[in-house]
Amino acid sequence: MRDTRVRIRHVRVPVRKQGVAMSATRRHLLARTGTALAGIAFSGALAELFAGTAAATAHTGDVGYGPLVRDPAGLLDLPRGFRYRVLSAEGRPLRSGEGTVPGRHDGMGAFAGRQGRVHLVRNHENGATAALGVPTVAGLTYDPAARGGCTALTLDRRGSVVDERVALAGTAVNCAGGPTPWRTWLTCEETEAQAGTAGYGKDHGFVFEVDPADPRRSGAVPLTAMGRFPHEAVAVDPRNGVVYETEDAFDRPFGLFYRFLPHRPLGGPGSLLAGGALQAMRVPDVSDLSAVREPGTRFDGVEWVPVPDSQARRTPIRFQDFGPRGITHAQKLEGCYWGGRSVYFVSSFARAAQGSAADHHGQVWRYDPDSGRLTLVVVFGPDTGVDLPGESPDNICLAPGGGLMVCEDGDGVQHVYGLTRRGEVYAMARNARNTGTADDPVYGEFAGVTFSPDGRTMYVNCYAPGTTFAVTGHWR
């Protein structure tokens, strides 16, 4: 049996702050996860990650909610006292009669509806040849040749599904996205395919807005001013409407971190169609974020550089000329969210063998717009085996009792794991269908973790076979 005790080691770490070397605490934690270990390095500045969240309950025993219990049905392993329901699964009929539930469930948002209802908007990361594409529906289809899009579920106050329908069709590789302050969903195409490639009839690589209560009000109109590139996720500053965007490019030079300055900030549904200015982040003297190794490292004076051609008509944005000082890249920029007074974004991993400056197994960055400071808050690793949780963080959300829920997207058995305010990691869910072997036909990535508006239910997707779960229990 593996040692499941929490191990904490304190070392001195140099931290950059206005040119002065400072000390910080770095933790190496191995926390109980039921049947596996987690290896994650944290900085003493980790508390910054949870600024503005609800107060956390003090721990009186094991971290989290205890070890995971094997699911007799072989679907989802959870801690004792928690239950799940399958809300939707690929291949089943849509309640709307528009066809079948598409596959490849990815990012998702939850929104309050009338009379205690909850609206879920779910992405489907389908390419042009996907077997279970989003059905085309008049008024909701951008490019009939594309197979991606979104579906919307409506749950009653008891959590039962009362409606499920197409919310957006004819888009491509809808990966993640993010909610707006006016309660709509921004879904992102993780591609930069142009018309005439892969059989597409239109350019792709855009963000689309989806109204969760009535998708026909939003239609299928690309928000072109927000850029054409392999989008991953977005987060909106609720104070001024600035939209932050991550780019998940698959080859060098890797993706950029963007901000979009809308002409009609906080203007409500449809306001982003008015356009705006797209800028890319430049960290002075840092061309690749993977080169930053020490948690707590800070960079002041972050710059925002105008994007020369946001539509990437001839050249993808990350290849464009940003001047003699260049621009800052990062491999696998994925999750993005707003918390407190800062935006947080995730780099799932970096591999030197694939062209990054250095290896890591996940980073969480914090950018404070008020000070213009970028801080490396969490580094995942070192590598303790691909079958362990705590590597390749992807979709991420705030937990109702403080801390985070993080979807793992790596090799081996896949987990949803929690991260407490104290920097402790614990397993919250495990895909019981995935064995973690190379020949396993089940791709067990979790995605789209989010909570109901009242904080009592966690919703999460399994990518393949596409399944949406609702998890209830004694949430702190």
Tens digits of residue pLDDT in 295-323:
899 999 999 999 999 999 999 999 999 99
The answer to whether 443 and 431 have CB atoms below 8 angstroms apart is no
Per-residue model confidence as pLDDT tens digits over 364-394: 899 999 999 999 988 876 543 333 445 678 8
Torsion from C-alpha of 359, 429, 152, 259, nearest 10 degrees: -30
CATH topology of domain 15-472: Neuraminidase (2.120.10)
Q: How much is the pLDDT for 387?
A: 35
Q: What's the pLDDT tens digit per position in 32-88?
A: 222 222 333 333 233 333 332 222 222 334 678 999 999 999 999 999 999 999 999
Strand partners, 344: 337, 366
Mean pLDDT of the chain: 84
Q: What is the pLDDT of residue 385?
A: 36
Whether pTM > 0.85 for this model: the answer is yes
What pLDDT sits at residue 391? 66
Kindly tell me the burial class for residue 186, based on how many C-beta atoms sit within 10 Å of its own C-beta (0-12, 13-18, 19 or more). buried
Those residues whose C-beta lies under 8 Å from the C-beta of residue 89, and which sit 6 or more positions away, are 101, 465, 466, 467, 468
Answer yes or no: are the C-beta atoms of 23 and 12 closer than 8 Å.
yes
Count of other CB atoms within 10 angstroms of residue 54: 14
SS3 category, 217: helix
- Count of CB atoms within 10 A of residue 228's CB? 26
Query: What separation in angstroms does the CA of 132 have from each of 30, 72, 154, 157, 189?
Result: 40, 28, 21, 30, 17
The residue type found at 341 is R
Q: Which residues on neighbouring strands pair with residue 460, listed in sequence order?
A: 469
Look at residue 437 in the predicted model and tell me its pLDDT: 67
Residues in the chain: 476
Query: With contact defined as beta carbons under 8 Å apart, do 44 and 425 qualify?
Result: no
Closest by Cα among 162, 59, 53, 89 to 405: 53
